Amino acid sequence: MSNSTTNTYAMKREILSFSNKFSKNLLKPDRKFLADMTYGMLAAKSCLLTDVVDQLHENIKKVNAVERLSKHLLKGVPDDARLSYLNSIRNLVPSNPVIHIDDSDITKPDGYKFEALGLVRDGSESTKTKNVYKKGYHITEACVLTTSDHPISFFSEIHSSKQKNFKSTNSYTFAAMEQGSELFEKATYVMDRGYDDNKMFLKMDALNQDYVIRLTANRKLLYHNKWTKATELRNRRKGKIRMPLFYKGETHQAYLSHVKVQITASRKDIYLVLVYGITEHPMMLATNKEIRSKEDVLEVAKLYFSRWRIEEYFRSKKQIFQLENFRIRKLVAINALNFYMTLCMAFLAHMTAKSESNILKVAVIETADPIKEKVRFNYYRIAKGIAGILSYAREGIRLWFKTSRPRWRQLCFNF
């Protein structure tokens, strides 16, 4: 590209303007570190500190630069930076936000020195008939969909059952729910079968939030003053509402039905929405959202099927920034690194939300040189385009932080 250096300058300025929103109340060393991590990971498409240092182009020994970044990570995440990030999310989401909560894993099969390293189920290798367990960590993530229907994380915590004072995985899920209720007055929480637990329903009722949760085959519901298995209610009915649905790369004809029931936990009226024609066994979705029409039933189904976005968020975070390739050992530093990766993912959402005619976004897409003109998930091509533009840089961003020194008066002698 003939204007590559111009685009590089514009991209540096965009990244620094973005990072300064979260670091304006921090001390100068912390402001520089936040900018270094955000810029370095976006340019390197990696969370490995040696790769980040390569993109900073500093005139010091590489080992010293890596040690400087490592020491900063051990301090954790500054409270002001985290608070500023959470406040900025409100400007990117619609008035009735949709929140997805899910758990994933980070595997470190060859790791020995990592703090509180436990055993996790490797989702990439496990199947329906066989579970594969490896050394690693659990990660609890809560994402909210932006106005462009792309996920952005507001809660991300890496944890292990081997760490001190560990209570349960549910405690992290509840913390994510509480964080969401503080940020957004009212939201709809969408969760998969692993969250079909009476504690989850009670927590949602206590926070006065809406939910769509997929039920397991063991769930019992109160229907006409009689406890009935959800599967029995599913088998009694047939889908009467037709809906075309794109699921796992294919277009399906789904048929929906609904019935008013009560849940075991709170004895409050909820709706059981049944989805036929997609999976081997019809899906059972529990929701406390009011259903008055056919459109309301369709909306509940669409909310659940938007779950693929948080699954794609996990996948992109691991692939774009090589999440499982970190070398730092302390859990506090690992979580700090995860926070800066979350900032980079938020920057991808920030670029995605820009107008299609925006000059910098046009340059990013052209540099990425995608095969398909339009896709449902833009983070991969945005990340590739940003790294391609920054590959022309021969200097880092240190010169953008000018050191202010007092102007000394000229030396004079009094006679």
Cβ–Cβ < 8 Å for 222, 262: yes
The Cα–Cα gap between 27 and 40 comes to: 20
Q: Residue 215 in contact with residue 286, Cβ under 8 Å?
A: yes
Q: How much is the average pLDDT of 136-145?
A: 95
Mean pLDDT of 31-50: 96
| Mean pLDDT rounded to a whole number for the chain | 90
Q: Is the pLDDT of residue 233 over 80?
A: yes
pLDDT tens sequence across 330-353: 999 999 999 999 999 999 999 999
pLDDT at 408: 62
Q: Is the pLDDT of residue 117 over 60?
A: yes
C-alpha to C-alpha distance for 34 and 197, rounded to whole angstroms: 39
Residue type, 404: S
Residue 240: how many CB atoms within 10 A of its CB?
Answer: 12
pLDDT band at 2 (very low <50, low <70, confident <90, very high): very low
Confidence class of residue 412 from pLDDT cuts 50, 70 and 90? low
**Which pLDDT value is given to residue 1?**
43
d(C-alpha 345, C-alpha 379), whole Å: 8
pLDDT at position 360 is: 95
CB 340 within 8 A of CB 42: no
Task: Say if CB 28 and CB 401 are below 8 A apart.
Answer: yes
Q: Identify which has the larger pLDDT, 59 or 414.
A: 59
Residue by residue, DSSP assigns 82-108 as HHHHHHHHGGGS-SS-EEEEEEEEEE-
| Rounded CA separation 103/138 (Å) | 7
Q: Where are the domains of the chain?
A: 4-83+327-400, 209-305
CB 256 within 8 A of CB 293: no
Specify whether the CB–CB gap between 364 and 389 falls below 8 A.
yes
Beta strands in 110-268 (DSSP E): 118-121, 133-145, 151-159, 188-191, 210-214, 220-222, 227-229, 241-247, 250-262
What pLDDT digit, counting tens, does each position of 281-318 carry? 889 999 999 999 999 999 999 999 999 899 999 999 99
Q: What pTM, to 2 d.p., does this model score?
A: 0.91
